[in-house]
Structure 1
Amino acid sequence: MKESKLIKIQEVLKRCAISRATLYRLIANKNFPNQVSVTGNRSVAWRDEDIQRWIDERPTINQ
């Protein structure tokens, strides 16, 4: 079984092009992938493939 790459909050914000406030709002509304505890609740991260799936499934705005 392949281990999942974990990414920290700064990389999540960068890749998703959202602010920290927006991230926390999405989490509160259960509209964002679950985070993973890295060091016993002192640090969290997200699975890379979960973030990529979330990005891929976001609606796009046609210009």
Structure 2
Amino acid sequence: MPNVLRIGAVAEMVGISVSSVRNRLNPKSKYYDPTFPKPFRLGLTGKGAVGWDKKEVDIWIEGQKALRAA
């Protein structure tokens, strides 16, 4: 499995829709989550495709599991 995930793969891993991923990243959304993993640019120009580090997404998921036990 690749170490860089695109938005669809992130949504699938977390179990939410692509639009929900975008909402969690948008500070103006009522669903904004400052702890949600941030994407990084994949292109050289700083525009276009973005990806997420799989390890960061895995860590975030583990953190969410830990919250339920607290």
Q: Which runs of 5+ in 2 are unaligned?
A: 27-31
Aligned pair count? 57
**Matching residue within 8, 15, 18 for 2:6:** 8
Which ranges of 4 or more aligned residues in structure 1 deviate by more than 4 Å?
Answer: none
Q: CA deviation at 1:31?
A: 3.6
1:51 corresponds in structure 2 to 57
Q: CA deviation at 1:51?
A: 0.3
2:29 corresponds in structure 1 to none
Percent identical pairs in the alignment equals 20
Question: TM-score when scaled to structure 2?
Answer: 0.70
Q: Which runs of 5+ in 1 are unaligned?
A: none
CA distance in 2, matches of 1:8, 1:21: 13
Residues 8-56 of structure 1: CA distance to partner in whole angstroms, max 9, x if unpaired? Answer: 1111111111011211111112241110100132100000111001111
SS at match of 2:52: strand
1:18 corresponds in structure 2 to 16
Higher relative contact order (CA 8 A, sep 6+): 1
